[in-house]
Amino acid sequence: MAITELFCWKCSQSLEDVLLPFSRFSRCKSCKVDLHVCRMCEFFDPKVNNSCREPIAENVSDKKRANFCGYFQAANHSQRDGSTEVTSNKESLEGLFGLDKGTSNLSTGDSDRSKQELDALFGLNDKKQD
C-alpha cells in the first residue's frame, strides 16, 4: 500500500516534510511528539493482543513513545481519538443487551424478578430467613 499523505497521530498535522522511513528520533514539528511509535504503524490495532498485528514483533509497553521495532511501517489511523470506535462499541453492547440508547428496557417488576432469581441462584434467600 502506497502512502499518499501522513498525519501526526496526536495533533493530526500533515507530516509531508518528514523524511520516510521515520528514524527513531523523528518528531512532529507541530506538537513535538515521537513519530516512530506504535500508534503510527501499519500493524497497530488495539483490538488484538499487544495491539500489534505483526505476530513476531516484541511487545512494546508504551505505544506512544519512540521504539526500536524493526517491523514499523508508517501509516495513518483514523481512530486517533477513538470516539467513533467507542460510539460503535457502545451501540453494539446496547443492542446485545436489549438496551435502547442508554435506557433499560426492564420494568421495575422485571428488575425485582431478576434480583429474586439471582438471590435464589446464590442461596441468598435462605440466609435472609435465618
pLDDT at site 81? 47
pTM for this model (two decimals): 0.57
Percent of the chain whose predicted confidence (pLDDT) is above 90:
45
Model pLDDT for residues 59-110, shown as the tens digit of each residue: 999 999 999 999 999 998 644 444 445 566 677 777 777 766 555 555 566 7
Domain ranges for the chain: 1-79, 83-129
- Find the mean pLDDT for residues 43-67: 93
The C-alpha angle with vertex 124 and arms to 123 and 130, in degrees rounded to 5, equals 105
Residues whose CB falls within 8 Å of the CB of residue 36, separated by 6 or more in sequence, listed in order: 22, 23, 24, 25, 26, 66, 67, 69, 72
